Amino acid sequence: MNTIPTIQLGKNGPLVSKLGLGCMRMSSIWGGPVKNERESVATIRAALDRGINFVNTGDFYGSGHNELLVGKAIKGRRNDAFISVKFGAIFYGGHLLGLDLRPIAIKNFINYSLMRLGTDTIDLYQPCRLDNSVPTEDVIGTVVDLIKEGKVRHLGVSEITAAQLRHVNTLYPVTALEIGYSLADRQIESDLLPAAKELGVGVVAFANTAEGLLTGEMKAPLPANSYHSHFTRFQGENLVKNLEKVEELKKMANEKGCTPTQLAIAWVNTQGNHIMPLVSMSRRSRLPENIRAMEIEFTTEERNTLNTHFSPGAILGGTYLQR
């Protein structure tokens, strides 16, 4: 059985698995179908069995559905899991209405999260974004109060700028930054990643395959009902040229005897000991492949090839991850 290495999350943070389990796609967020709940719960438990203890969810994933799934999965084995929860996004009818980061709302959110998860404490609690609608001091101060009350163990942040990260860290030590990062989305390398490393903040990197672009399975044109079509990266000539870029990844994967998805995860994994790939899974069958990705290493030549071919800006267009 593969052994998952552990990393210290943040300068003085806890030890967690170097590979994280993202549970978002187990629930309906944008109005899509809900995955098989029994299989989703079994996937979380199987991940825990394999040593993947970092479990990521959000109170707005499926209007609480996702937290209920996680709660079922960790029942009776709470100590096996490190639970990361995002809060603040308001959805209605499958559409994002905005953020609610008022202290009174945060205190309401966490009570519902604790109930759905079936626990007294959330390990990592983080606003999904900071939009200046509420003073940062009030948002972070509320989470700090929850830490003092014992309802939260560590402060996290998500999808923020380097300046915001530095400011938040002056208010209270940040344990982890959750951010999109892949061969196709490297804009954070110029300032945000260096800031996190300097401050001793762990990086939880999601969207390693850039919304499926780097899986090698996407073809142009996309189906008419594909949610990807809303984003410029997957439209018209952008998609055609981007898929041409992915051919290099497919070629290298074939030479190394792995899949493009594994290669994309491996690249993120090898960017630093403080960086954790957060991989979405909803089926147990995906676990062996993603775990094996953590064992893939690159020669200097292979690394240079990927970094040159997928240099920042090489992928045309953006997604909601684009800052």
Residue given tokens 């490393």 in the structure block? 197
Structure tokens at 32: 């899509």
**CA atoms of 231 and 137, how far apart (whole Å):** 33
Whether 61 is catalytic is yes
ω before 221 within 30° of 0 (cis)? yes
Among residues 61, 92, 112, 320, the one annotated as catalytic is: 61
Structure tokens at 96: 């994002």
Q: Which amino acid is at 1?
A: M
Structure tokens at 109: 């959110």
Residue given tokens 């401050």 in the structure block? 199
Quick one: which of 200, 169, 209 has its CA closest to 274? 200
Quick one: which of 73, 155, 176 has its CA closest to 116? 73
Structure tokens at 288: 């062996």
User: Which residues form the catalytic set?
Assistant: 61
